[in-house]
Amino acid sequence: MSGPKGGSYRVETAAQREARMLRDAMADYAQAEVAWDNAAARMSAVSAMSEPVRYARPKPVPADADSAGYARAAQELHAAADAATALATQARERFAAASHADRMARIIDHLGGPPPPDPGPAARSRWQASQAAQSPVPVHVVDRAHVQQRVQRRLDQLAGLDHDAARVEALLDDIGNSDSQSRIDLILSELDYLITDARTAATQGDEIGAARAALSAMQARLSQVKGRAAEPLRDRIAQLISTQVRNVPADLPDLVVAAIRDADAEADRLHVVSVMRGALDELGYSAGPEFSTDLSAADATAYARSGSSRYGIKVRLEPGSNRFTAQAVKSDTALTSAQEDVAAERQFCAALDQIVELAKRDGVELDVDIRTAPGACSVQQVADAKLGALATAVQRGSAAQEMKRSQ
């Protein structure tokens, strides 16, 4: 075999940069949509219990928007979600303050106002003092001041939580109408359960919202991705969103990253194949059909004939990496001398340098880091049919002119 030349390729086109920026912007917009949905739900909940709360949502981003359009739309929607949430929070705080004051006034009224002041030890007779020390307080006697304090603590906790307001009102009415401390204790325990449930629901809601935002961002990133791995991931993510999971599966982010990386690598590979074929055509080579089929597969080799000669180029893109190799080859129908082989290898080296320069026009950097001098190894023979058809007279003339310019 002749000494192969090899190296790595890197694709950096304007279209590629736009595709990657668009994915990021679409993911940000998807998260902004989740934030807006949460804000809209807050406004609806507050409006149902108190004053109407409204904030207009920005216009949806056009379906054909570019990365800059999606980025602007995401910024506007995030800002709108923050503003709507702030309005809902302020309205809720006003309602909670008014409701708290009203509820406490009713409790105080129901319980008959504050207890009479204690006359103190000096105003008691010795008999009264001894009886007070020996006799426990009857269970039906209500410590009104203590009840008020206990109710106020629970109302303070409920003020910042979504809860069943009608149920709370009914429990407070029961407290106000009860003259039994044990009964009041049971009702206060029921309020404690409501508080616990409200806190649990709030935590679950936050977790579901965070998971949905992360899943929606992944869904947006995959929306433009082709490949066998992307479709089942899209289906899985849609199912997770619909079932309102509280946590993103641990393996999912890495699978999404891998699917996008593999799709990008395949797109790069196809672009490199196209650019190489275009460069070979421009240099007068007749590219074999493998440049349109096998070379874009996982592990394949393609050939191109140099004009009308029996020599050509063999190109291979390594599977699973951005590496390539290229070398001079000759038809198995040709009888050539060592001098002719060395001359063909020199022609191949010059052609490869030109391919490197031509590829840059289309955003492909070919970094050749393996170079073997012509004549170091024998030129590999391949089946003549693999090298493609012999060039026509017109093609031979173009190839000859190109060779003169390169000398």
Which amino acid belongs to residue 98? A
In the block, tokens 């070379």 appear at 295
In the block, tokens 């590219």 appear at 287
Contact 40, 84 (CB under 8 A): yes
Secondary structure (3-state) at 328: strand
Tens of pLDDT along 171-188? 888 887 888 888 999 999
**For the chain, how long is the longest CA-to-CA vector?**
135
The sign one gets for the Cα dihedral 323, 312, 328, 284 is negative
Helices (H) and strands (E) counted in the chain, each on its own, are 10, 7
For every residue of 18-35, DSSP letters joined together read HHHHHHHHHHHHHHHHHH
Rounded-to-integer distance, Cα 263 and Cα 305, Å: 31
Rounded-to-integer distance, Cα 403 and Cα 407, Å: 6
Instruction: Output the CA–CA distances (angstroms, integers) from residue 327 to 36, 315, 379, 380, in the order listed.
Output: 58, 7, 9, 9
Residues 6+ apart with CB under 8 A from 247: 207, 211
5 has which bridge partners? 326
Rounded-to-integer distance, Cα 398 and Cα 287, Å: 15
What are 266's two structure tokens? 């395949």
Instruction: Output the CA–CA distances (angstroms, integers) from residue 229 to 214, 252, 253, 260, in the order listed.
Output: 19, 12, 13, 9
Rounded-to-integer distance, Cα 275 and Cα 269, Å: 10
β-pair type (311-317, 323-331): antiparallel
Rounded-to-integer distance, Cα 294 and Cα 300, Å: 5
Supply the pLDDT for residue 188: 92
Task: Report, as ranges of residue numbers, the positions in the chain whose pLDDT lies below 50.
Answer: 1-2, 114-116, 123-124, 127-128, 132, 135-139, 391-407
What are 399's two structure tokens? 């190839």
DSSP-H helix ranges across 305-407? 338-360, 393-406
Supply the pLDDT for residue 293: 58
316 has which bridge partners? 301, 325
Rounded-to-integer distance, Cα 328 and Cα 355, Å: 14
β-pair type (380-382, 323-331): parallel
Instruction: Output the CA–CA distances (angstroms, integers) from residue 64 to 19, 29, 61, 293, 309, in the order listed.
Output: 13, 14, 8, 32, 50
317 has which bridge partners? 300, 324
Rounded-to-integer distance, Cα 405 and Cα 407, Å: 6
Supply the pLDDT for residue 295: 62
What are 172's two structure tokens? 């407070």
Task: Give the global pTM.
Answer: 0.70
Supply the pLDDT for residue 140: 52
Burial label for 15, CB within 10 Å (0-12, 13-18, 19+), is exposed
- Cβ atoms < 10 Å from Cβ of 166: 8
Which amino acid belongs to residue 103? R
What are 58's two structure tokens? 């920005």
Residue 62 DSSP one-character state: P
